[in-house]
Amino acid sequence: MHPLRSAALCALALLLTACGGTTTPAATPAGAPTATPEAITVVASTNVYGDIVQQVGGDRVQVTSIISDPGQDPHSYEANTQNQLALSKAKVVVENGGGYDDFVDTMLKASGNTSVELINAVTVSGRTAPAGEELNEHIWYDLPSVAKIADQIATALAKADPASAATFTANADTFKQKLQPLQDRTARIAADAGGTAVAITEPVPGYLLDAAGLKNLTPDEFAEAIEEGDDVSPQVLAETLALFTGKKVAALVYNEQTSGPQTEQLKKAATDNGIAVVPVTETLPEGKDYIGWMAATLDALQAALVK
């Protein structure tokens, strides 16, 4: 190589690497912003679990809730390719389990995402079906189980981001502290109105009603048929309506997301007979987080029962 050309190249190299020396990374100026770690991608089957993930994960998570429309019946939801794509990229997935959202397992398996941290709310809760009965899979109305789920979410997020583990644990503890007043209020309803008879359109709020010490008089055949989307027999419908005309119950706990002609008949019978209607849903109403949603449900229940 021509000496002048070689000298020119070395001079250029000196500016970059001290002409043959090792490269020394430039120091970050004091006060300069540091790179933000990539957020943990999380998919939740409904916005109920999505909200709990957000409260535990804070700004370290990017959450996709598959079912978030308060007007959508979760039992009839049809998953799509967008859901499949989200599941394929997720580091953590939260499903309800118990047959409630089986599409999550099906699509997750098809996505080929084998490294995901999967949280099954029913499994975490430890709930099982009573002898001779079906499991009530609506775990989010079981406040002690929701506390367990928050802890499990913190554990799963810590595996994806070990450096933020202490933050996730602290956030889960804060969330559980917010849950405690709700559990206290439920216990107060049990103390003030325990044993009071109520009717339901579906078993959705069953765990909360049990914790409040309330007695459900609705025929099992009615609630099961409504939950499965089947018609109720005329005999069972008449038996259920008699709970209101005979004023045998103090309230109707009514699932607003799966209303139909027969549940509307119950609602009308309750209203006509001066019996309170307590609305419940399966996903978060717009503008509510989990704590606010449960607080509003307890407000309505308390107003209906505690005179």
Residue-wise pLDDT for 99-133, tens only, equals: 999 999 999 999 999 999 999 999 999 999 988 88
- Helix axis angle for 143-160 and 47-57, nearest 10°, is 60
Total domains in the fold of the chain: 2
- Which DSSP helix (H) or strand (E) runs through 261? helix 261-272
225 domain-assigned: yes
Q: Which of 161, 179, 197 is the last residue of a domain?
A: 179
Instruction: For residues 138 and 91, state if they share a domain.
Output: yes
Q: Which of 179, 203, 223 is the last residue of a domain?
A: 179
Instruction: For residues 158 and 205, state if they share a domain.
Output: no
d(CA 111, CA 101): 16
Say whether pLDDT at 143 is over 80: yes
224 or 159, higher pLDDT: 159
24 or 291, higher pLDDT: 291
Instruction: For residues 129 and 85, state if they share a domain.
Output: yes
**pLDDT of amino acid 73:** 67
The closest of 129, 101, 156 to 282, measured between CA atoms, is: 101
Instruction: For residues 261 and 297, state if they share a domain.
Output: yes
**pLDDT of amino acid 197:** 98
**pLDDT of amino acid 240:** 97
- Which DSSP helix (H) or strand (E) runs through 214? none
Say whether pLDDT at 136 is over 60: yes
17 domain-assigned: no
Q: Domain range holding 191?
A: 182-305
Q: Are strands 92-95 and 117-120 parallel, antiparallel or unpaired?
A: parallel
30 domain-assigned: no
CATH of the domain at 110: 3.40.50.1980
24 domain-assigned: no
Q: Averaged over 256-268, what is the pLDDT?
A: 91
Whether 284 contacts 292, CB under 8 Å = no
The band of 5, judged by pLDDT with boundaries at 50, 70 and 90, is: very low
Q: Give percent of the chain with pLDDT exceeding 70.
A: 86
What is the pTM (predicted TM-score) of this model? 0.86
